[in-house]
Chain A
Amino acid sequence: MRSMRIAFAAVAAVTLVTAGCGGDSGGGAAKGGAAGAAGFRPPNIPAMQSLGKGEGQVNLVAWAGYAEDGSNDKTVDWVHPFEKQTGCKVNTKIAGTSDEMVSLMKTGQYDAVSASGDASLRLIAGGTVAPVNTSLVPNYADIFAGLKMKPWNSVDGKAYGIPHGRGANLLMWRTDKVKPAPDSWGAVFDPNSPYKGKVTAYDSPIYIADAALYLMSTQPALGIKDPYALDQKQFDAAVNLLRQQKTIIGEYWSDYTKEVQAFKSGDSVLGTTWQVIANLAQGEKAPVQATLPKEGATGWSDTWMVAAKAQHPNCAYMWMNWIVSPKVNAQVAEWFGEAPANSKACQETSDKKFCDVYHAADEPYWKDIHYWNTPITQCLDGRTNVTCVDYSKWTQAWTSIKG
């Protein structure tokens, strides 16, 4: 028994030492924390001036499906041709969420990232990414004007990335179960919905913006101009709407295969979706249809950005030019199921109707789309007399909405 006690004492002592060391290393690492939190002043980082020779490799952080090297489908490969042409070996790290992308980029081991709008601002404000000199990316000229110099990829007239592609969060329904066909988000927010228990919603704090978007048109008195710039009163209204919505929700989805299966089996008959999910479900003979409701919708627009401390900046620029070149951009868009960013990509798709289905050139369609953005305390819609609710509060609210 005595030896037991000695062993415990030894364990305790070592634990204390370990804990002490952990605390020590901590002090030094908390640097540059407040950048951007007070206002939005990105650190002054110069953009690259001229393109040099490739460094032999490039490290990417990307969404699944954005840097295919033929390992998933051997006909889907735009990495090897790039390596052959430029001599830059591509090392890809797939990230599952925008937040994961931010964390990975902070490690400083990566050269470029395919950031969505809810990650890009954080990367800019934290000084993780550098402005992009678009004149070094020849294919930038062919990018749709509706995607250039937007709030999520530029600050103060300075470009921070190359647009990759975009998509909208749509309303999908089972045509055999839901009649008449819905044309409004009201269908998923109606507390007396006849489809109670079979309604689905996207499982992420960013979905609060969908409720805000609906309130924009149904409760104009709230004065919501931008679903990502909500003051406390507007935010509470959106959260209340979602709490009320929870009573008719069957399940929340974040995994797209799960939603395809739910709509196919009829466990979900109505809810938010992406175009690619609607196509997959129709491909599996599920009688579904997706539409852009009359209130407009939230969406996503991805941007390739270069790390401020990139070790292979030349290869990163070459990659950015490659991924938005007409042929490759068409390949990515078709594989992932989104609208390409390059206007010339529409002639390169294997399905000639692809750009029509995804509304690639349909600018009026995109006018009603509010792309994912990072909510910050400084209101994104330009109001200065109130402070807005930031993303960490959105996350906490999302937990409490789900209960």
Chain B
Amino acid sequence: MISVSLSTPGGPVRRLAGLLHRRPGLRLSALLAAPLLWLVVAYLGALAALLLSAFWTTNVFTGDVVKQFSTQNFHDLLTGDVYRRIALRSVGVAALVTVVDAVIAFPMAFCMAKLASPRAQRWLVIAILTPLWAGYLVKAYAWRVILSGDGLVHWALAPLGMAGPGYGLAAVVMTLAYLWLPYMILPIYAGLERLPNSLLDAAADLGAGAFRTFRTVIWPIAFPAVVAGSIFTFSLSLGDFISVKIVGGKSQLIGNVVYDNVGAANNLPFAAAVATVPVAVMVVYLVAVRRTGALENL
């Protein structure tokens, strides 16, 4: 009985199962269809719509979008001094935030991975993750209060005869570095945890000092993890516009230009054109770090 039903195709379910068994390609496509559809339509589709609308313009008075192909937005974007300056400033801030985060995160991650007891490790990870649950705005406004003229920073520096940085780009870098620090610590921590202690012992046995061990053993192994963290801190900083509004004083970044064109000017096409700049910067960055193996460390 059983052998018969197996050799001759039974119900539709059976037939489908048989078909899928014979054709692994079909099986894979069926499995991936839903997520791939989401990826393509919702995710890449939105990007495509963004790129497409960047080539439209708006009617100056009524604000209606004029759906005619035009490269005017990109022309304005590339020839306007101010946009180049803002783009470079944004990349600079993002890079600085990344460096600050890397410098702070590395020793912290090293202590967590190599010096803390396993029990303490778990608690430290929780401690690092906890601030991520607090609201972004609350943290940004907290920094506004900390950096204000009668705030903590000013109070601490006053006896030394120094003044706080006040509101401006320095304040933006400090705030963003604080906000994104967990995204740098966690990948480095994960990377260093994979580093066998025996390698450190071997380096010590062979007479390497602390700095030499760091340079020749720890850093090469941890580097992809640092780059992985930098992808987070860099891209998150590049797109940020709220911190600048809160602690940035009179400065503006690329996110503000996008925001102002959507909110104040009602010029979606130009906002879309501006928004392609960070996308382009990130693509260049990702292609550049591809070879370091960082993408396997995410």
Q: Out of A15, A36, A126, A261, name the residue touching B144 (CB < 8 Å).
A: A261
Chain A residues in 8 Å Cβ range of B248: 251
Q: Does B45 sit at the interface, judged by CB under 8 A?
A: yes
Chain A residues in 8 Å Cβ range of B264: 97, 99, 204-205, 395, 398
Interface residues of B (CB under 8 A from A): 28, 36, 39-41, 44-45, 48-49, 52, 56, 58-68, 76, 80-83, 85-86, 144-145, 148-151, 166-167, 245-246, 248-252, 257, 260-261, 263-267
Q: Please, which residue of chain B has its CB at the minimum distance from the CB of A269?
A: B149
Is B150 a contact of A265 with CB atoms below 8 Å?
Answer: yes
Q: Please, which residue of chain A has its CB at the minimum distance from the CB of B252?
A: A402
Q: Please, which residue of chain B has its CB at the minimum distance from the CB of A251?
A: B249
Q: Please, which residue of chain B has its CB at the minimum distance from the CB of A204?
A: B264
Q: Does A1 sit at the interface, judged by CB under 8 A?
A: no
Chain A residues in 8 Å Cβ range of B83: 399
Is A246 a contact of B62 with CB atoms below 8 Å?
Answer: no
Q: List 29 A-B contacts (CB under 8 A).
A: A10-B36, A11-B39, A11-B44, A15-B48, A18-B44, A18-B45, A19-B48, A27-B67, A29-B65, A32-B62, A36-B61, A100-B263, A102-B266, A106-B63, A126-B62, A250-B249, A250-B250, A251-B250, A266-B150, A267-B148, A377-B61, A391-B61, A392-B58, A392-B60, A392-B265, A395-B264, A400-B80, A400-B81, A403-B82
Chain B residues in 8 Å Cβ range of A390: 60-61
Is A18 a contact of B263 with CB atoms below 8 Å?
Answer: no
Chain A residues in 8 Å Cβ range of B251: 402-403
Q: Which 4 A-B pairs have the closest CB atoms?
A: A26-B67, A395-B265, A126-B62, A99-B266
Q: Out of A10, A35, A398, name the residue touching B260 (CB < 8 Å).
A: A398
Is A122 a contact of B61 with CB atoms below 8 Å?
Answer: yes
Q: Does A255 sit at the interface, judged by CB under 8 A?
A: yes
Is B245 a contact of A255 with CB atoms below 8 Å?
Answer: yes
Is A267 a contact of B44 with CB atoms below 8 Å?
Answer: no
Is A22 a contact of B61 with CB atoms below 8 Å?
Answer: no
- In A351-403, the 8 Å CB interface with B consists of 374, 376-377, 390-392, 395-396, 398-400, 402-403
CA distance A247 to B225 in the complex (A): 42
CA distance A36 to B63 in the complex (A): 11
CA distance A254 to B244 in the complex (A): 13
Is B63 a contact of A258 with CB atoms below 8 Å?
Answer: no
Q: Out of B52, B61, B167, B266, name the residue touching A23 (CB < 8 Å).
A: B52
Q: Out of B56, B62, B82, B263, name the residue touching A37 (CB < 8 Å).
A: B62
CA distance A23 to B55 in the complex (A): 11
Is B148 a contact of A126 with CB atoms below 8 Å?
Answer: no
Is B60 a contact of A391 with CB atoms below 8 Å?
Answer: yes
Is A400 a contact of B61 with CB atoms below 8 Å?
Answer: no
Q: Out of A14, A30, A103, name the residue touching B63 (CB < 8 Å).
A: A103
Q: Out of B41, B76, B148, B249, name the residue touching A18 (CB < 8 Å).
A: B41
Is B249 a contact of A399 with CB atoms below 8 Å?
Answer: no
Chain B residues in 8 Å Cβ range of A266: 149-150
Which secondary structure dominates where chain A touches chain B?
Answer: helix
Number of inter-chain CB pairs below 8 Å: 152
Q: Please, which residue of chain A has its CB at the minimum distance from the CB of B45?
A: A18
Is B62 a contact of A36 with CB atoms below 8 Å?
Answer: yes
For the complex formed, measure the closest distance between the CB of A208 and the CB atoms of chain B, giving whole angstroms: 12
Interface residues of A toward B: which range? 35 or more
Q: A11-B40, A251-B249, A392-B267 are in contact. Are A102 and B48 (CB under 8 A)?
A: no
For the complex formed, measure the closest distance between the CB of A59 and the CB atoms of chain B, giving whole angstroms: 20
CA distance A278 to B65 in the complex (A): 39
Q: A15-B45, A18-B45, A19-B48 are in contact. Are A102 and B252 (CB under 8 A)?
A: no
Q: Out of B58, B61, B63, B257, name the residue touching A399 (CB < 8 Å).
A: B257
Is B40 a contact of A14 with CB atoms below 8 Å?
Answer: yes
Q: Please, which residue of chain A has its CB at the minimum distance from the CB of B265?
A: A395
For the complex formed, measure the closest distance between the CB of A160 and the CB atoms of chain B, giving whole angstroms: 15
For the complex formed, measure the closest distance between the CB of A151 and the CB atoms of chain B, giving whole angstroms: 15
Q: Out of A15, A103, A254, A267, name the residue touching B266 (CB < 8 Å).
A: A103
Question: Knowing that A32-B64, A399-B260 are A-B contacts, what are 4 other residue pairs whose CB atoms are under 8 Å apart, sorted by A's residue number?
Answer: A11-B36, A96-B263, A122-B62, A395-B260
Is B62 a contact of A29 with CB atoms below 8 Å?
Answer: no
CA distance A33 to B121 in the complex (A): 62
Q: Please, which residue of chain B has its CB at the minimum distance from the CB of A30?
A: B67
- In A1-38, the 8 Å CB interface with B consists of 3, 7, 10-11, 14-15, 18-19, 22-23, 26-27, 29-37
For the complex formed, measure the closest distance between the CB of A193 and the CB atoms of chain B, giving whole angstroms: 14
Chain A residues in 8 Å Cβ range of B145: 261, 265
Q: Does A197 sit at the interface, judged by CB under 8 A?
A: yes
For the complex formed, measure the closest distance between the CB of B279 and the CB atoms of chain A, giving whole angstroms: 15
CA distance A100 to B63 in the complex (A): 11
Q: Does A249 sit at the interface, judged by CB under 8 A?
A: yes
CA distance A400 to B252 in the complex (A): 10
Q: Out of B82, B148, B261, name the residue touching A261 (CB < 8 Å).
A: B148
Q: A15-B45, A251-B248 are in contact. Are A400 and B82 (CB under 8 A)?
A: yes
